[in-house]
Amino acid sequence: MSDKEVTPMENLEESRLRMCDKFAHVTGSDSAVAQCYLAENEWDMETALNSFFEAHMESVFDLEDTEERKNRPLSKRKDAGPPEKAHSPEPKRRMISETDCIDLTEDEPACTSSTGSKATGTDEGDHKLSLVSWNVDGLDTLSIVERARGLCSYLALYTPDVVFLQELVPSYIQYLKKRAVSYLFVEGNEDGYFTGLMLKKSRVKLHKSEIVSYPTTQMMRNLLCAQVTFFGQELYLMTSHLESCKDQAAERMKQLKVVLQKMKEAPDNMTVIFGGDTNLRDPEVAKVGGLPSGVTDVWEELGKPEHCRFTWDTKINSNKGVSYVSRCRFDRLYLRPATTGPKMTPEHMALIGMEKLDCGRYTSDHWGIYCTFTT
């Protein structure tokens, strides 16, 4: 025989090598670390990933909390000066910078969105829905506190009604919850890494949420859905992080079909918005038959603005430190307007997070998407 016969042992070795590659890609580690964790967990991918995250992420923000306590000013003594002065603090100032964490603990941040309507206003423009979708790369621990501060800065600047987040880890979302108390958080998991929704309490009311499983995922991916009301309009919000890596196209397309089916099945009176890190290539969308009737790609609907095309761009974004240039539209928004009642349409889209922080890195290796919708 000219071709060497492949033995079951060789098949097993090749399978495990592929698992190591996937583990290393998801965690940002190397093959040696991947092999160690997979072997210790009997080559169960999900268990191994959980073990890795628990070991590496629990204390990521410990230093930040310690510094906050250390720098917290001591309470003034009651006899330090006249009573009227001792109990008359200076007016609060809200500053947005790349290094200072933005305190989002007030019910309504004191800044305005880029659409010009105040978060607390009642003008007509205020009934526009504003949304951010962002893979925040919580798996990357390098400068993660500074990068989380950067995210908080953008939330305070744009005051979005809805936020879709991908690649969260427990410590990252706990950090956000401490600072963004004007938002309700809905999480796609409790451990490992996962997606999340942030809903502005004063403007978006949550009715119910659900997590839809992807049965054959090897990367702990799922679909997070929430039914909400926004100024009397029924919305069905969906976010996901579809399977990563070029060689996972088949699994990614399976997951896309689940997303599109859920969008089609939503009640007619609901506007459906899906957003997230899809990892999609355009041919993959075509291979599943394209988007269903009534479902549109928001970027395409807005005329394919070139400045919003690439959400993963190693030509500009240096966070991963790779030598190659890769420019892809991995992060996408899909819209299915309600077929009864007011119809929501996309109005404006921009990429955010394109400024370097003082630490020399960007908020994430992905750009965030900021979008507004109107009826």
Q: Considering the domain boundaries, does residue 205 fall inside one?
A: yes
For residue 241, count other CB atoms closer than 10 A to its CB: 29
Each residue of 292-319: pLDDT tens digit? 999 999 999 999 999 999 999 999 999 9
Q: Bigger pLDDT: 197 or 123?
A: 197
Among 126, 137, 161, 277, the active-site one is: 277
Same domain membership, residue 40 and residue 131: no
Say what angle helices 170-179 and 144-158 make with each other, to 10 degrees.
Answer: 40
Structural domain including 48 reads 8-57
Residues 6+ away with beta carbon under 8 Å from 101: 148, 149, 152, 153, 179
Phi, psi of 187 (to 5 degrees): -110, 145
Whether 1 shows a pLDDT value over 50: the answer reads no
CATH of the domain at 257: 3.60.10.10
The pLDDT of residue 342: 86
| Calpha distance 355→337 (Å, rounded) | 33
The pLDDT of residue 225: 98
Q: Pull the structure tokens for residue 193.
A: 């890494």
| Calpha distance 348→302 (Å, rounded) | 7
The whole-chain average pLDDT of the chain stands at: 83
Q: Which of 57, 73, 90 is the last residue of a domain?
A: 57
Of 204, 225, 200, the residue nearest 213 (C-alpha):
225
The pLDDT of residue 57: 56
What value does the mean pLDDT take over residues 278-286?
A: 98
Q: Considering the domain boundaries, does residue 94 fall inside one?
A: no
Report percent pLDDT > 90 for the chain. 64
191 is catalytic: no
Q: Considering the domain boundaries, does residue 303 fall inside one?
A: yes
Work out the widest C-alpha separation in the chain, in whole angstroms. 98
Each residue of 249-258: pLDDT tens digit? 999 999 999 9
Number of structural domains (the chain) is: 2
Whether 355 shows a pLDDT value over 50: the answer reads yes
What value does the mean pLDDT take over residues 122-128?
A: 62
Q: Is the CA virtual torsion 117, 307, 275, 342 positive or negative?
A: positive
Whether 20 shows a pLDDT value over 50: the answer reads yes
Same domain membership, residue 338 and residue 246: yes
Each residue of 76-110: pLDDT tens digit? 333 333 333 333 333 333 333 433 444 454 444 33
The pLDDT of residue 40: 81
The pLDDT of residue 65: 60
pLDDT band at 2; cut points 50, 70, 90: very low
| Calpha distance 107→327 (Å, rounded) | 38
Same domain membership, residue 263 and residue 149: yes
CATH of the domain at 47: 1.10.8
Q: Residue 168 carries which side chain, given as an amino acid letter?
A: L
Whether 46 shows a pLDDT value over 90: the answer reads no
pLDDT band at 19; cut points 50, 70, 90: confident
Residue with tokens 């993959």: 284
Strands 233-241 and 222-230: antiparallel
Residues 6+ away with beta carbon under 8 Å from 271: 233, 234, 235, 236, 335, 336, 337, 338, 343, 344
Q: Considering the domain boundaries, does residue 115 fall inside one?
A: no
Report percent pLDDT > 70 for the chain. 78
The pLDDT of residue 160: 98
What value does the mean pLDDT take over residues 54-71?
A: 59
The pLDDT of residue 353: 98
| Calpha distance 48→23 (Å, rounded) | 8
The pLDDT of residue 8: 63
The pLDDT of residue 13: 78
Q: Considering the domain boundaries, does residue 355 fall inside one?
A: yes
pLDDT band at 59; cut points 50, 70, 90: low
Angle, vertex CA 337, rays to CA 335 and CA 340, nearest 5: 165
Q: Bigger pLDDT: 2 or 339?
A: 339
Same domain membership, residue 178 and residue 48: no
Q: Pull the structure tokens for residue 221.
A: 């991916």
Q: Considering the domain boundaries, does residue 3 fall inside one?
A: no
Same domain membership, residue 182 and residue 36: no
Among the ranges given (33-42, 62-71, 173-182, 218-227), the one the predictor scored with the smallest mean pLDDT: 62-71
Q: Considering the domain boundaries, does residue 97 fall inside one?
A: no
Same domain membership, residue 130 and residue 52: no
Q: Considering the domain boundaries, does residue 2 fall inside one?
A: no
Whether 4 shows a pLDDT value over 90: the answer reads no
Same domain membership, residue 168 and residue 23: no
DSSP class of residue 277? E
Same domain membership, residue 278 and residue 129: yes
